[in-house]
Structures are given as structure tokens and as C-alpha cells.
Amino acid sequence: MKNLDKWIAVIFLVISITYGYSSAMFKLLPFELNMVFLPNTLPNALAVIAGMLCLLIILSPAQPTESEMQLPEDGEAGTSKKKFEIGQAAMLVLAMIAFALAIRPIGFLTSTTVFLIATGWILGERKLAWMIPIAAFSAFCVWYLVQETLGLYLRPLPWFLS
Amino acid sequence: MIDGILLGLATAFSFNNLLMVVAGCLIGTFIGMLPGLGPMSIIAIMIPVAIKIGDPSSALILLAGVYYGAIFGGSTSSILINAPGVAGTVATSFDGYPMARKGQAGKALTIAAIASFCGGTIGALLLMGFAPALSSVALLFHSAEYFALMVVGLSAIAAFAGKGMVVKALLMTVMGLIMSTVGESALFNAPRFTMGISDLQSGFSFITLAMALFALPEALYLVLDPSRGAHQTTSDQIKDLRITKEEAKTIAPVIARQSIQGFLIGVMPGAGATIASFLGYAVERNIAKGKEQEEFGKGSIKGLAAPEAANNAACTGSFVPLLTLGIPGSGTTAILLGALIALNVNPGPRLMIDNPDVFWAVIISMYIGNVVLIILNLPLIPYIAKLLTIPRNYLIPFILFFTMIGAYIGQNNATELLILVGLGVSATILRFANYPLAPLLIGFILGGMMEDNFARAVNLHDGISFMYERPMTLALLLTGFAMILVPIYRRRWKKS
């Protein structure tokens, strides 16, 4: 985890090079060739600037990163060592991915209710008698507001029921 | 003009129209709190209702109320859960959310409500007095000046370029600009850099990016570090709305300045609340002294009041080109223009002569809307702020859910949710490495407009000579660069 910011700069450098390459190779339409400002003019410039900034970060002296330290603010450095609940966070991310994949096939009401109960469970909530009605009621309220009141379609139930 | 104002007062103060203002403000506030539903979508949704009403004055009064309510509602989600639902409230979250985390959610919402009220009210007064005169000034701004104005707006990134993070802040801004080039553009004929992914045809969605950069990492941090979060403070502290005399004195000149500046920016077609809020934030940060400047981005009351006053004043300002010239200055006013036409009202120079009741009733209702909004919202603030005292096991699932649903309803596309999760996890890692995320979002928001205006100006002037040939462009560009570079160098001089 040491020099995390430099590793990230390396990733950004790769992105900049790839972006710059696809920008340079961008297929211009015949009439665009005579234009002063082309669709790839700004992207070319941005790729060069981004690459230079990445190199500046990679080559500059190492600075302490926050990975093993306190959680950072935007523009604020941390100081003390902390232990993080990485497992819980990873499970939440998996739950979000599952929600994204399930929202269409199993419907908004089902997926939302299950998502809210599952994420609450991951975070240590064991009072299912509370969690289930709260999750189901909230899912229904949001669905009713979005679909019935605002008219934006959200399939409520699984595909075989609606 | 006096006759017009009296006519407007009579129309706006009818029982029916007062009811419209109250209903509009309430609907706007509550729906606006839901990330993903900004003023534009809410007004679009309300148009059939407005047309059903039939009377143009009542319909427009309802829509204006919805507009103001939605902007205030958007600020609420920015402050409480760091989820700016619209671009105009991104700058609000820079200091509003840190205040909420310090246990000052009630105070932050109160400052936002007061700044919004003052911004909207001063804007309405300026609109009343100077609308016809300002409409001709607005037309003096061409693409070259708009491009320069975007550069000035970009200077808001200086607030995040502290403590050895100048290069990182610049890199993140460039990354934001790069992301803004993905997909279709108004000026070019083929979509760019979509990597063959059809869902990227229209580019990255603002709401997805805002949620991924702000709301999602915060929610994940609350999980990673259970000791973090505003719920560490007491419920009484969170609900406390009181602003001290010193605080009121501190924010009063900020609100006055930014209301006028925001209004003037709003008058220019295409600039709008987003530029006004970033610019307001950047200007106030640059003129703040010593310790006050260091506070920006960490819960400064000036940093919260400035964008809130500016974006509300700009919203009022955007009515100038709409009502006097028939030119919609923003997406929201474009939808309002559609509603006006559907109601058989033709906005333009003759609106004041042909439909004075509509023209003045809308202006007067803006003022009433602001009063109604503050009367309705101030008593609600303790209850809204109390949301943060909900136990973590319940609060985090709901933050994650609203973050995701905000991105989903905007696009109705499950791929958007996967992009959101991917970007959100990346953003969390970036913050661990001390890369500021706000500049990326600022670059993304301003990037598209900047490229469009720059390309138009370059094509029009056959090169970049406009940068030094047009005095207003040159002055704005120099101001923008000074606002980015001076704070950075000032900090270095202080160190050495």
C-alpha cells in the first residue's frame, strides 16, 4: 500500500496514453478535415497535459499516503493509524452489484426490499421484525412516488408476475 | 412599471395563486431531495398539471414554486448525505457536508435556507428593476466570453489544491475534462471514446458521477470506519438551528455579493446556476483572509452561503432572457419556455406589453415563493436534520439505496448502476491516496460547455486570436488564471 498515490498515477498515465492514442487515431469525417477545431483537438491536448501531470507525481519525492492512516478529507492529510472494516465494505459493494443486476429481472419492489434487508444484515442489524416492514414500506413509497406520481416506469415485480 | 407591479401583486396574491406557490414549493422541496430528480425533471413532470390548470399566471406560478423548491431540496441532500442531485448544488456540498459531519446539520441547513432566500429575493428585486436593460447586456456575451467564464468557474479547484496536492488537483481536473469528452457532443458528428459501449453513447451521466464521487465513498467510509460520522454528536446539536451574531455578520456580505454576482451570471444565456455557484465559491475563497481561507472545504459557513446565494440568484437571473427575449438560458428555462408556449403565451420583448399580468405575476411570485419556502422549511429543518441520528445500520442501507436509485431513475438503465459502483469504489481508493475528487467533478461539469464554446470561438475567429483581441475575454481569462495560481503561490510564499 506504500506509495499508493504513485501507483494510481501510473494507472492514470496508462489511461492518458490509451486516451491519447485513440484521440490521435480518431477517424475524422471528410468535411471535418478543413475545420480549425477538430473533434480530437482538445482530447490531444488533454492527453499530453494529463501524461505530464502523472509523470510529475511519479517522479516527485514520496509523500505519506493515507491508506494505513486516518480516513482523509478532500484536501486534508491524516495522522493516526486505524483499522478498517474492509470485509463489510466489500460485502456491501457485492450487494450493490447484485442489486444492479437484479433490479430489472426481479422488479423494483422485490430487489429493493431484499437489498435493504441484506445491507442492514451485513451491517449487523438482526431485528428482522423491524427491518422487513421498514424495507418493504420504503420500497413501496419510493416506487409509488416515482412510478405512480411522477410517471417514470419502474417494473415493480419479477418478470413472470408483471 | 408601478402599474405592472400592482397588477402582478393583485394576481399573485389571489388565494388560488398563493395556493399554487405553496404547493409548488412543497412538491419541489420533497421531490428535489431525491437525488436524480433535479428541477428540470420535476418541472417537466409538472407541465401536464400546469397545462390542466389553464390559466397561464397560475400555471407559471406553480412551476416557479416547484423550481425554487427543487433547488432547496437538492441542497438538503447535498448537505446531509453528500449527494448533490443537480450540478448547481455540487458546490454546496463542499462545505455543507463537512458541517453536517461536525454535527452542525441544522445550522448548515439554516444557512442554506437563509442564503437561498436572500439570493432569490435579491434576484427577484433585480429582475423587477433591471430585466429589460440587462437583456441587451446578456447578448454581448459570445462564445469567447463564455469560454473565458468557464475558465473562471474552473478556478474553484484552487480550494482543493492545498497541502502538496496542487498537481493532484490539476490531474483530477484534467481527468474530469477527459471524462466530459466521452460520448456525443453538440458540435461534432460522431460520438467519441465510447470504447464500443453503447451505454456511453451519450457520455457519462452527471448524476452517476456525482453519486460515485461524493455520496458512495462517504457511505463506504462510514462502514470502513464505524467511529466516523455525524451521529457521534448529540441529537440536540444536530437539530440546533441557531446562528450567532458573529456568524450572521460573517455571511451577510458574502450573501449580498454572491446574490448580485449570481444574478448577473444567471442573466447570461447558457451560464446558469452551476457556473454561478462555482464562481461564487471560488471568489469568496480567494477574498477570504488567512484562517478563513483554510476553512474552505472543511465546513466554512462562507463556503456554504456563497454557492447557495449565487445559485438561487442565478435561477432568478435566468428568467431575464426567457421573459424579455424568449431565449431559454438553461435546460430548466427551456422547459418553462415550452410550458409558456403550450399555454399560448409568447415570451419575448412583447410579453410585458401583451401579457403584463403574466410577466409581473411571475416576478412577484418568485418573491412570494422565497418567503413561502423559508416559512415552510425553517420549522422542518430540525426534523430533516434529525435524519442523521438514525442508527448506522438503517442509515447506510438507505444512503446506498438513494444513491443507486438516483442514478437509475435518471437513465432507467442497469448498466448505469454498475458504472456507479465501479466509479464509486475507484473514488474511495483515490481518496485513500489523497487525490481530491471535487476537481474531477468540476472539470467534468464545465468540460463539455468549455469545449463547445472554445470550438465555436476558434472556428469563428479562425484561431485563438480572440483570447487577446476581445478585451472582455482577455480580462476574464486573466482573472481565471490569477484565481487558480495566486492562492497556490501565496501558500508557497507563506511556507518559505
The domain segmentation of chain A, as residue ranges, is 4-59, 86-149
Q: Is B297 strand, coil or helix?
A: coil
For residue B54, give the C-alpha cell: 389553464
- Is the pLDDT score of B236 beyond 70? no
Q: Is B400 in contact with A49 (Cβ distance < 8 A)?
A: no
Tens of pLDDT, residues B68-117: 888 888 888 888 888 776 777 888 888 998 888 888 888 888 899 899 88
pTM above 0.90, yes or no: no
- Is the pLDDT score of B327 beyond 90? no
Tens of pLDDT, residues B272-298: 778 888 888 888 888 888 788 888 888
Size of interface A-B (CB pairs under 8 A): 195
Q: Is A54 in contact with B297 (Cβ distance < 8 A)?
A: no
Query: Which pLDDT value is given to residue B230?
Result: 46
Distance from C-alpha of B357 to C-alpha of B415, rounded to nearest angstrom = 48
Distance from C-alpha of A127 to C-alpha of A26, rounded to nearest angstrom = 57
Share of residues in chain B with pLDDT > 90 (%): 10
Query: Which pLDDT value is given to residue A56?
Result: 92
Quote the distance between the C-alpha of residue B58 and its chain's center: 26
Q: Is A37 in contact with B459 (Cβ distance < 8 A)?
A: yes
User: pLDDT band at A136, cuts 50/70/90?
Assistant: very high
Which stretch of B166-180, B346-360, B391-405 has the lowest confidence by average pLDDT? B346-360
For residue B316, give the C-alpha cell: 432568478
Length of chain A: 162
Mean pLDDT for B323-349 is 75
Query: Which pLDDT value is given to residue B1?
Result: 66
- Is the pLDDT score of B211 beyond 80? yes
Mean pLDDT for B9-31 is 83
Query: Which pLDDT value is given to residue A64?
Result: 58
Q: Is A96 in contact with B404 (Cβ distance < 8 A)?
A: yes
Q: Is B223 in contact with A92 (Cβ distance < 8 A)?
A: yes
Share of residues in chain B with pLDDT > 70 (%): 90
The answer to whether the CB of B321 falls within 8 A of the CB of B140 is: no
**B296, closest residue in chain A (CA to CA):** A75
Candidate from B162, B400, B430 with C-beta closest to A119: B400
Tens of pLDDT, residues A142-154: 888 888 777 777 8
Q: What share of chain A is helix, strand, coil (3-state, %, to 5)?
A: 60, 0, 40
Q: Tell me the chain B residues in contact with residue A142 when contact means C-beta distances shorter than 8 Å.
A: 34, 405
Query: Which pLDDT value is given to residue B172?
Result: 92
Backbone φ, ψ for residue B384 (5° rounding): -65, -45
Tens of pLDDT, residues B239-268: 677 788 888 999 999 999 999 999 888 887
Per the listing, cell 397561464 goes with: B56
- Is the pLDDT score of A20 beyond 90? yes
In the chain, the amino acid numbered B168 is: K
Kindly tell me the number of DSSP H helices and DSSP E strands found in chain A: 5, 0
Which stretch of A93-97, A150-154, B434-438 has the lowest confidence by average pLDDT? A150-154
**A53, closest residue in chain B (CA to CA):** B171
**A74, closest residue in chain B (CA to CA):** B436
Distance from C-alpha of B355 to C-alpha of B352, rounded to nearest angstrom = 6
From A35's Cα to the closest Cα of chain B, the distance in A is 7
Q: Is B463 in contact with A36 (Cβ distance < 8 A)?
A: yes
Backbone φ, ψ for residue B243 (5° rounding): -115, 130
- Average per-residue pLDDT for chain B: 81
- Average per-residue pLDDT for chain A: 83
- Is the pLDDT score of B340 beyond 60? yes
Distance from C-alpha of B143 to C-alpha of B166, rounded to nearest angstrom = 29
Count of CA atoms in the C-beta half-sphere (13 A) of A43: 23
Quickly count: other Cβ atoms within 10 Å of residue A61's Cβ. Answer: 5
Query: Which pLDDT value is given to residue A68?
Result: 46
Share of residues in chain A with pLDDT > 90 (%): 44
Query: Which pLDDT value is given to residue B274?
Result: 80
Q: Is B405 in contact with A142 (Cβ distance < 8 A)?
A: yes
Mean pLDDT for A89-98 is 94
Query: Which pLDDT value is given to residue A100?
Result: 92
